[in-house]
Amino acid sequence: MRVSVIGCGYLGAVHAASMAQLGHEVVGIDVDAAKTDLLASGTAPFYEPGLPEALAAARATGRLAFTTDPAAAAGSRVHFLCVGTPQQHGEFRADLTYVEDAFAALLPHLAPGDLVVGKSTVPVGTAEALAQRLTTTGATLVWNPEFLREGFAVQDTLHPDRLVYGLPTDAEGEPTADGARAAAVLDEVYAQPLADGTPLVVCDYATAQLVKVAANSFLATKISFINAMAELCESTGADVTRLADAIGYDDRIGRRFLNAGLGFGGGCLPKDIRAFMARAGELGVDQALSFLREVDAINMRRRVRMVDLAREVCGGSIVGLRIAVLGAAFKPDSDDIRDSPALSVAAQMQLQGAHVTVTDPQALPNARAAWPGLAYADTAEEAAADADVVLLATEWPEYRRLDPAALGTVVAHRRVLDGRNVLDPRAWRAAGWTYRALGRP
């Protein structure tokens, strides 16, 4: 099937390559010529494991093209909207400028029977408004939220854990005739994952839009729950990692997303819970989501606490001290630094008078551009040279594996802060380090 993918960022680039791999003929469209040029030459514009291989495989089939020309969407049966919905400057709500622009650019190129498939994360009500504007074109809107994780994006797209179709529905909540036709087309698009047994949830627009923000809110809540427990552990001498292990054995709770530490960042969880609260306020049900305010507050407190811990371990002040920060990306296997806890803590410590040197295996170019005032080093050893404190802020595998004895030979003082609770305290203490972490004695 011929499909267009509008917006070629973390979501769209991966979606375009994956759709080509699933056998479709794909054109990726983005307003950023630098990005489409890179993608057209088979180069991923950002770090995502598996994406270069997916682009190469798709290019080899001759079924994947990229352009800045919105007219290239004409002739596609399905048009995926994959643009970003960042937090609006100075507000909690989502900025829908890119959705609006992409939709307006697509409208003149739609033909009757086309599907416009929204994948962007939007405030509930957006799909209904967009669908209204399609009535004169004869195209149908479907809301089909995306649940991919950065770092696993290709795998999550080709083998999703569920598919959700938000369809136009009648007064009884059943799909309309257009909705049923749209579902049949999407079944063709996703023939492979469906044949693999991927569960499918068919629902109305509102439910589909809410599914996405509800899922991210739940994940954020789970992380903040364990980080709240970490605060309790800090004041009682308990160990949050053991606590997480113990409660995680209960299947109803589960151990995943119970890793305490510097908390969540990135381009999704933080802005999604805020946009969700803003939307609930507009709908007059802000009380229903007031707990998310606390989820956000707990998350932000962890960053402050980490700076305090650095001060504590250095005898009361970090002024003039050298601090090595291992990690700049918001999580491993990504070069994404949007709302990165690592960089937020690094910048705070620098502002408070420390000399901070940051390292990261993939995110240094992005970090340098966003935070030019920090110092940067290519390796953990270089960053840690003469350091008074080493902070592990993003749990890249190479930092988890660091040899405390070897690293001990380059630092000025053997003090390590484990911002992700991934180092073995016994091994580090045995090598003469002062080891401190969030939520551990």
Counting contacts by CB under 6 A, is residue 301 touching ligand UGA?
Answer: no
Buried/exposed 37-57: b ≥16 CB within 10 Å, e otherwise: ebbbeeebbbbbbbbeebbee
CB of 300 to ligand UGA, least distance (A): 13
Q: Which of 96, 268, 391, 417 binds ligand UGA (CB under 6 A)?
A: 268
How far is the C-alpha of 29 from the C-alpha of 406, rounded, in Å? 49
Between 83 and 185, whose beta carbon lies closer to ligand UGA?
83
Counting contacts by CB under 6 A, is residue 331 touching ligand UGA?
Answer: yes
User: CA dist 361 to 51, 268, 334, 367, 392, Å?
Assistant: 17, 22, 9, 11, 13
How far is the C-alpha of 115 from the C-alpha of 236, rounded, in Å? 57
CB of 62 to ligand UGA, least distance (A): 30
Counting contacts by CB under 6 A, is residue 423 touching ligand UGA?
Answer: no
CB of 74 to ligand UGA, least distance (A): 29
Amino acid at 337: I
Contacts of 62 by beta carbon, 8 Å cutoff, 6+ apart: none
How far is the C-alpha of 27 from the C-alpha of 2, rounded, in Å? 8
Between 178 and 339, whose beta carbon lies closer to ligand UGA?
339
Between 10 and 205, whose beta carbon lies closer to ligand UGA?
10
How far is the C-alpha of 199 from the C-alpha of 190, rounded, in Å? 11
Counting contacts by CB under 6 A, is residue 223 touching ligand UGA?
Answer: yes
How far is the C-alpha of 217 from the C-alpha of 295, rounded, in Å? 9
Number of shown-chain residues binding ligand UGA (CB under 6 A): 21
Between 69 and 245, whose beta carbon lies closer to ligand UGA?
245
Counting contacts by CB under 6 A, is residue 275 touching ligand UGA?
Answer: no
Counting contacts by CB under 6 A, is residue 224 touching ligand UGA?
Answer: no
Is 21 within 8 Å of 65 (Cβ atoms)? no
Between 275 and 321, whose beta carbon lies closer to ligand UGA?
275
Between 258 and 356, whose beta carbon lies closer to ligand UGA?
258
Counting contacts by CB under 6 A, is residue 418 touching ligand UGA?
Answer: no
Site string for ligand UGA, 111-150 (x = CB under 6 A): ----------x------------------------xxxxx
Active-site residue set: 268
| Contacting range for ligand UGA; rule: CB under 6 A; set: 61-69, 109-117, 251-259, 361-369 | 251-259
Site string for ligand UGA, 147-166 (x = CB under 6 A): xxxx----------------
Counting contacts by CB under 6 A, is residue 269 touching ligand UGA?
Answer: yes
Counting contacts by CB under 6 A, is residue 261 touching ligand UGA?
Answer: yes
| Contacting range for ligand UGA; rule: CB under 6 A; set: 69-77, 158-166, 255-263, 406-414 | 255-263
Residues interacting with ligand UGA, by CB under 6 A? 121, 146-150, 216, 219, 223, 257-259, 261, 263-266, 268-269, 330-331
